[in-house]
Amino acid sequence: MMRACGTCHLIGLFLGVLALVAMSASGADETPSSQQPPTVEEAAAFIKSAEARLLELNVLSSRADWVKSTYITDDTEILAAKADERAIAAQVELAKQATRFDHLKLPADLARKMMLLKVSLVLPTPADPKASAELTDIASRMEGAYGKGKWCPPGKDKCLDIEDLTRLMATSRDPHELREAWVGWHQIARPMRKDFVRYVELSNQGARELGFQDTGALWRSKYDMPPDDFAKELDRLWEQVRPLYVQLHAYVRWKLREKYGDQAVPANGPLPADLLGNMWAQSWENIYPLVAPPNADPGYDLTEILKSRNTDALGMARFGEHFFTSLGFAPLPQTFWERSMFVKPRDREVVCHASAWDVDFVQDLRVKMCIDITAEYFSTIHHELGHNFYQRAYSHQPFLFRDSANDGFHEAIGDTIALSITPQYLVKLGLLDKAPDPSKDLGLLLQRALEKIAFLPFGLLIDQWRWKVFSGQITPQEYNRAWWDLRLKYQGVAAPAQRSEEDFDPGAKYHVPADVPYTRYFLADILQFQFHRALAKTAGCTEPLNRCSIYNNKEAGARLAKMLEMGVSRPWPDALEALTAQRQMDANAIRDYFAPLEKWLEEQNQGKPVGW
């Protein structure tokens, strides 16, 4: 499935305008009286005044970003950069002022809000106005460069954007064409390299001014545990699922050797990044026809079914909305249908990368997508609407608590719903006459593993790379080499063409130039199976997990809503417990879901190389 950005347009802006609030709410800080020990009453007034102004100022930034993303011009980039500059600089300023209350014993809710002020930053701009403006200009320019990126094949009249190339990578079986497309797209990132080096310098400067070692340490500090403990938690989760990934990797490798030959795919080495059906080799479901088990065809093709029924982009979104209303959630507001971008406009440049928006932080919900009528986009729209229904569920919370329990939760909700897109669900929608026999489940499990299990190491390594860049462990002189070292270590994937430090291959992935942390997607892949297992149990499903759908189950919907409504008002283990009755993330739910497939993969790989 396409990795959607979710709420990434708001990251870094969530608390963005707080400096303006701080200047009005705590102007006394500039007087001699500010040297007196602060009181709980002052802290409460500080936060109350901040939250009263936050909504208005953040909406301005959201609207500027929406226009910039759906109408890319030099002017809209400048306007958005200026709005972001004011917002981010404000957040940095308030985070610094909030340190005045560090040693004050505060009520739990107030203490949590103070903590969130400091750790919710993504792009910490330096205090110096010129440096702050430079950093936000760079951030806007890099995202715009990605959005406008195209590859122009030699001798062809049409240049291809990332949507065109995504379709090509998904469907082509010509290794020469795939390699050219891969190299062509990655060239768009080369000009970003200089900007990225400066972005790291300025971002780290801002993080240090807030008391963090670097920007990576700041990012890791938002998970209700010390940064080092969080890193260890990621390692623990990865080790739980790594054996399944290694078996999947080995199986895919020998199947691709059957298709492309020994020269293209090594017997016991890494997989070529251009042969896996996705520009970033982050998920492999598009090559399912090449690796499908014999006699495992479920007997239907959802893409063909949707097209044969003349489903349009709005129809795709209506399917997603109906799933949530079947659980007891209220329908989306009319403005959602009027203001969202469902298809790519013909008259202008846009950022097609799928994302969900809550422009006014209350009810102005939107999605931004360039929908194709495919099974992949059918899942993606369910994912994006998961963000929207989450956003609305916590909109009653105080402003600083209007976010997910942690950012992995936000990504996991929609994917949890997508796990309920089973054949039985499609029968209930009238898209299938009857569900395939359970004997066909192996193919469906493999197809889902190519999406979910294949993604896990990629979801982990992007921020592993960035954290090392921010800390200085990876220097600008080795950006690209270190990138491919990590991809080899975690994914067992290699570039299909010679790479050098003139290239900047990380920049060819949206989330890097757009300054969006990526660990949330790894966490989401873990959490969604844990959520699904718990909700399936609540719904009374006694079938294997892969056959369970919570569609139309109000009890499961009520349990889900209870967690969504909490927002970030409580530490994430509390939210996890509300849904799953567990306080620790558990990747064993993945092994439970894929247990029949893992056993089968081990049997298929007998006598063949495993690992790389």
Give pLDDT tens digits for 79-105. Answer: 998 888 777 777 777 877 888 888 899
Percent of the chain residues past pLDDT 70, beyond the cut: 94
Residue 383 bears catalytic tag: yes
Beta strands (DSSP E) in 215-345 are 271-272
Predicted confidence band of residue 22 (pLDDT cuts 50, 70, 90): very low
pLDDT in tens, 43-59: 999 998 887 777 778 88
Assess whether 532 carries a catalytic annotation.
no
User: What is the pLDDT, as a whole number, of residue 35?
Assistant: 67
- The predicted pLDDT at position 103 comes to 87
The H or E element spanning position 365 is strand 365-368
Paired tokens of 238: 């990865």
Q: Which of 383, 393, 490, 556 is catalytic?
A: 383
**Catalytic residue check, 353:** yes
Q: Which candidate in 51, 134, 411, 451 is catalytic?
A: 411
Q: Which residues pair with 272 in a beta bridge?
A: 494
Q: Report the amino acid identity of residue 238.
A: W
Reported as a pLDDT band with limits 50, 70 and 90, residue 560 is very high
On the question of pLDDT at 18 being above 70, the answer is no
**Residue 152 DSSP SS3:** coil
pLDDT at residue 604, as a whole number: 96
Query: Which tens digit of pLDDT belongs to each residue from 362-382?
Result: 999 999 999 999 998 999 999
9 catalytic? Reply is no
Residue 120 clears pLDDT 60, i.e. is over it: yes
Contact call for residues 559 and 540 (beta carbons, < 8 A): no
Can you tell me the distance from the alpha carbon of 569 to that of 484, in angstroms, rounded to the nearest whole number? 39
Helix (H) or strand (E) holding 259: helix 227-260
* pLDDT, position 157: 87
Q: What angle do CA 240, 458, 253 make, to 5 degrees?
A: 85
Secondary structure tally for the chain: helices H, strands E = 24, 4
Flag the least confident range among 27-36, 107-116, 313-322, 503-512.
27-36
pLDDT given for residue 23 in this prediction = 28
Q: How confident is the model at residue 598 (pLDDT cuts 50, 70, 90)?
A: very high
Give 603: exposed, middle or buried? Use CB within 10 Å, 0-12, 13-18, 19+: exposed
- The per-residue pLDDT for range 190-247, each reduced to its tens digit, is 999 999 999 999 999 999 988 889 999 999 999 999 888 898 899 999 999 999 999 9
Q: Do the beta carbons of residue 589 and residue 530 sit within 8 Å? A: yes
Catalytic residue from among 382, 410, 511, 532:
511
In tens, the pLDDT along 310-351 reads: 999 999 999 999 999 999 999 999 999 999 999 999 989 998
Element (H, E) at 600: helix 595-604
Known catalytic residue: 384? yes
Distances (CA, A) of 556 to 53, 148, 411: 36, 42, 19
pTM: predicted TM-score of the whole model, two decimal places: 0.83
Are 557 and 327 in contact, with CB atoms under 8 Å apart? yes
pLDDT of residue 16 exceeding 50, the answer is: no
Name the active-site residue from 300, 394, 425, 521.
521
Active site (annotated) includes residue 103: no
Count Cα atoms within 13 angstroms, Cβ side, for 31.
5
**SS3 letters for 33-66?**
HHHCCCCHHHHHHHHHHHHHHHHHHHHHHHHHHH
Does residue 159 have a pLDDT over 70?
A: yes
For position 10, what pLDDT does the model report?
46
Instruction: Using a pLDDT cut of 90, give the percent of the chain over it.
Output: 74
Q: Count the alpha carbons within 13 Å of 375 in the hemisphere toward its beta carbon.
A: 18
pLDDT band at 28 (very low <50, low <70, confident <90, very high): very low
Main-chain dihedrals φ then ψ at residue 367, nearest 5 degrees: -120, 150
Question: Which is catalytic among the residues 4, 281, 317, 354?
Answer: 354
pLDDT at 20 over 60: no
Residue whose C-alpha is closest to residue 594's, from 555, 539, 554, 547: 547
Could you give the 3-state DSSP secondary structure of residue 98? helix
Which helix H or strand E contains 90, and what residues bound it?
helix 74-98
Section 128-154 average pLDDT: 93
